[in-house]
């Protein structure tokens, strides 16, 4: 029960000072009156609540309201997308630049930042404009260069099919930033794709198989000398109201599935159907990321990859960093809340 | 499809070099033979697999095997628990000490480490024995002391009812470490409780209400000047095989629920029933954490709290830190894998 009663909330932290379980289930209204745009209620346990009428409307339990609230309101895209592009200085130094970056990251999920220095560590400065970075088994800043005996094929010159990073973590990184420092090698185009768009197409084309990959989990794992991570997740997540709210797609890290025998064949048919959509040319954006550019994207929505490159033809060096989705949404909401005040 | 075919796996990273979607759904066996404890299969697409028989048994799709694999095999407890206790030096400097700590954290979820220095930062040294710490909006190391205008009631002298930390994050911290540096104030006993045990009792006593809190989500939120986090989670999570695999309980951070109208009353009845169990005296362990002790526990399973203390009667200073559950499980599994080799 939300009381909005001044004596029930700690003033500086905003935390509840009561447990809803302690409110009698027989609590009733002693008096109620509307004062302008507020409703004032006195309860028979000597507490008092003041609800703005708009607050009551926002939190209405009606089905229509619940559905509207869980619609993420995204702009899905194919390879015709004109990538939203912003200058580094504007994003770093102006509230308008930050706001536009946050908005495009939220609705489109892919934003290019130009005019950056090629100094190592620049990518962390940009990340901290939103929040502290997320440290993973690959460290905080990771260097994408071709090295021998790599712990990840990202650190070779091999092509990388479209994928998301670190799905073997419970909460895979939300935002990913890739900063180009050197790009002299032949090949190595960056590729991006809207996985929510892929899922949406699959729902239209193959509703039965779509249902399978929202229900039968795949396994993502990372096994190494010092690591052993393994988790089950469905490739597509749909909320109770039918909105696509998550995609988990990273075939390179697929582990042994652990599903009932009668689901196995349908599972593989469904994964193949999704993969086929990710290979359609019209789904994929590809371009040459140039030194001084940072591509920023939502790793939980946008697949990324690269074409192979010739490591003998010149250097190629990217620096990457992650920020958690929680911190991104928090920044996005805080910014919008301030604006509407 | 898991091929275990040498030409399909990258040697140093262990990543798949093929996409299962590229294996024909008409693939068939050309030849098959058992060689000692292995099964060798040649496929009609010129790939070859070698499966140890034990591997095939471990990954069998039978219902019995799937159920056994998802049983977390925990030792639940009440206030009769003798808290597993280990010396700091043993945990830091011997593989046996580390192994015992990891094992007790996994099965019991609560371990006291004694004989620590009272130097600030000691808690991070201990955390790094498992993994890098998790940074949150409260920083990396957080100081639990009574201060004015606190951003969290933990930083006052108020009693804290049993709760978990940071449930408004998508993946709340797994391990929590609290290091006592100073304990001179009157009061301020530390309290702990096995939330999986509480959930298990509720399932036996009130199966219908138990079903409600595994199905109807609560809202956890943290709103502040620079933060706006809000997520929906069920208080108890049960897997497809009926094992309790998660509890999310932190009434101080309960936000406005967003559930269908017809579920509202049942939801509050169910939360009250769970809360009533958390208040039974036999569920709660309480003790005075002494300077030089670090209590380590699974924040996703064990509720923690404290009694109020008199901030005028003397100092009280704890330092805390978190480690993600992914990293803990990874360390635990890596350790056990090495041992069985």
Query: What pLDDT, in 10s, does the model give residues A271-284?
Result: 999 999 999 999 99
- Supply the pLDDT for residue B1: 52
In the sheet that holds B48-52, the strands lie side by side as: B29-35, B38-43, B48-52
Would you tell me how many other CB atoms lie within 10 Å of the CB of residue B257?
A: 20
Determine contact: B219 vs chain A, CB below 8 A.
no
Q: With an 8 Å Cβ cutoff, is B271 touching chain A?
A: yes
pLDDT in tens, B82-138: 999 999 999 999 999 999 999 999 999 999 999 999 999 999 999 999 999 999 999
Query: Cβ contact (<8 Å) for A16 and B66?
Result: no
What is the maximal distance between C-alpha atoms in chain A? 81
pLDDT at A340 over 60: no
What pLDDT, on the 0 to 100 scale, is given for residue A341? 42
Report CB contact under 8 Å: B12, A149.
yes
Which residues does B228 contact at the CB level (< 8 Å), separation at least 6?
A: A329, A330, A333, A334, A337, B222
Nearest to B15 among A2, A253, A269 (CB): A253
Domains defined along chain B, listed by start: 6-59 (3.30.2020.30), 73-341 (3.60.130.10)
- Does the structure show a pLDDT above 90 at B311? no
Taking the Cβ of residue A30 and every Cβ of chain B, the question of whether any pair is shorter than 8 Å is answered with no
- Going by C-beta distance under 8 Å and a sequence separation of 6 or more, which residues neighbour residue A47? A3, A5, A7, A8
Q: Which helix (H) or strand (E) holds A183?
A: strand A175-183
Q: CB-based contact (8 Å) between A135 and chain B? A: yes
pLDDT in tens, A94-114: 999 999 999 999 999 999 999
Judged against a pLDDT cut of 90, whether residue A171 lies above it is answered with yes
Calculate how close chain B gets to A225, using CA atoms only, in Å: 8
- Positive or negative, the CA dihedral B164, B168, B174, B180 is negative
Chain A partners of B272 at a C-beta cutoff of 8 Å?
A: 20-21, 25
Q: Please measure the distance between the N-terminal and C-terminal CA atoms of chain B and give it in whole angstroms.
A: 26
Residues B20, A254: C-beta atoms closer than 8 Å: yes
Enclosing H/E stretch for A305: strand A302-306
The confidence score (pLDDT) of residue A3 equals 64
Residue A170 to residue B271, Cβ atoms within 8 A: no
DSSP H helices in A94-242: 95-107, 122-128, 195-205, 207-213
Residues of chain B found within 8 Å of residue A330, distances taken between Cβ atoms: 137, 227-229
User: Which pLDDT does position A339 carry in this prediction?
Assistant: 58
pLDDT of residue B338: 64
Least confident of A33-47, B147-161, B303-317: B147-161
**Contact map slice: A 71-130 vs B, CB within 8 A:** none
Measure the CA–CA gap between A304 and A193, rounded to whole angstroms: 7
Query: Cβ B62–A325 below 8 Å, yes or no?
Result: no
- Whether residue A276 lies within 8 A of chain B, CB to CB, comes out as yes
Q: Does B132 touch chain A (CB under 8 A)?
A: yes
Q: In 3D, which of B112, B56, B108, B114 has the Cα closest to residue B89?
A: B114
Could A21 and B169 be called an inter-chain contact, meaning their C-beta atoms sit closer than 8 Å? no
- Mean pLDDT estimate for chain A: 92
Could you say which of A16, A132, A269 has the minimum Cβ distance to residue B135? A132
Say how many CB pairs under 8 Å bridge A and B: 164
Cross-chain residue pair A228–B330, CB shorter than 8 Å? yes
Residue in chain B closest to A274 (alpha carbons) equals: B21
How far is the C-alpha of B268 from the C-alpha of A255, rounded, in Å? 40
Q: Is the pLDDT of residue A74 over 90?
A: yes
**C-beta separation of B192 from B296 below 8 A:** no
Look at the block and give the residue holding tokens 């809340």. A337
**Predicted local distance difference test score (pLDDT) of residue A1:** 52
Q: Which of A181, A221, A195 is nearest to A78 (CA)?
A: A195
Residue B132 with chain A: CB contacts under 8 Å: 135
With an 8 Å Cβ cutoff, is B258 touching chain A?
yes
Could you tell me the two tokens for A118?
């090629």
Least confident of A309-318, B100-109, B318-327: A309-318
Please indicate whether, in this complex, the C-beta atoms of B20 and A271 are within 8 angstroms of each other.
yes
Decide if A14 and B254 are in contact by the 8 Å CB cutoff: no
Contact B159, B310 (CB under 8 A): no
Round the average pLDDT of chain B to a whole number and report it: 92
- The CA distances from residue B328 to A242, B212, B263, in Å, are 34, 31, 36
pLDDT 10s digits, B208-259: 999 999 999 999 999 988 899 999 999 999 998 889 999 999 999 999 999 9
How far apart, in Å, are the Cα atoms of B323 and each of A54, B124, B178? Answer: 40, 10, 12
Task: Inform me whether the C-beta atom of residue A54 falls under 8 Å from chain B C-beta atoms.
Answer: no
Residue B341: predicted pLDDT: 42
**DSSP secondary-structure letter at A279?**
T
Cβ of A14 within 8 Å of Cβ of B334? The answer is no
Q: Which two tokens stand for residue A294?
A: 């940072």
User: Per-residue pLDDT tens for B196-213?
Assistant: 999 999 999 999 999 999
Q: Would you say residue B13 has pLDDT above 90?
A: no
pLDDT of B124 reads: 98
* pLDDT at residue number B2: 60
Alpha-carbon distance A21 to nearest alpha carbon in chain B (angstroms): 4
Distances (CA, A) of B8 to A15, A123, A209, B23, B44: 53, 34, 27, 12, 16
Residue B241 touches chain A, beta carbons under 8 Å = no
A261 touches B: beta carbon within 8 Å: yes
């Amino acid at each position: 029960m939300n009381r909005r009663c001044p004596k029930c909330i700690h003033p500086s932290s905003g935390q509840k000072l009561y447990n809803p379980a302690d409110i009698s289930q027989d609590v009733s209204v002693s008096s109620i009156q509307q004062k302008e745009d507020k409703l004032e209620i006195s309860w028979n346990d000597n507490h008092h609540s003041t609800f703005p009428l708009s607050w009551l409307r926002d939190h209405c339990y009606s089905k229509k309201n619940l559905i509207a609230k869980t619609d993420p309101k995204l702009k899905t895209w194919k390879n015709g997308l004109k990538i939203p592009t912003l200058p580094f200085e504007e994003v770093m130094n102006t509230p308008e630049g930050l706001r536009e970056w946050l908005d495009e990251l939220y609705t489109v999920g892919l934003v290019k930042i130009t005019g950056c220095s090629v100094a190592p560590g620049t990518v962390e400065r940009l990340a901290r404009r939103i929040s502290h970075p997320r440290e993973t088994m690959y460290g905080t800043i990771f260097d994408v260069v071709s090295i021998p005996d790599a712990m990840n094929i990202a650190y070779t010159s091999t092509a990388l099919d479209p994928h998301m990073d670190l799905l073997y973590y419970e909460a895979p990184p939300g935002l990913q930033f890739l900063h180009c420092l050197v790009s002299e090698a032949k090949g190595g185009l960056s590729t991006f794709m809207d996985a929510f768009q892929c899922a949406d197409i699959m729902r239209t084309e193959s509703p039965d198989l779509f249902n399978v990959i929202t229900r039968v989990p795949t396994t993502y794992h990372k096994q190494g000398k010092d690591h052993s991570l393994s988790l089950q997740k469905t490739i597509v997540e749909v909320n109770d109201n039918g909105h696509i709210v998550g995609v988990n797609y990273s075939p390179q890290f697929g582990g042994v599935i652990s599903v009932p025998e009668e689901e196995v064949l349908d599972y593989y048919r469904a994964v193949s159907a999704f993969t086929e959509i990710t290979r359609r040319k019209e789904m994929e954006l590809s371009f040459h990321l140039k030194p001084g550019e940072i591509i920023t994207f939502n790793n939980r929505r946008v697949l990324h990859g690269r074409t192979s490159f010739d490591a003998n033809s010149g250097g190629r060096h990217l620096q990457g960093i992650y920020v958690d989705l929680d911190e991104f949404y928090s920044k996005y909401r805080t910014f919008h809340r301030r604006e509407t005040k």
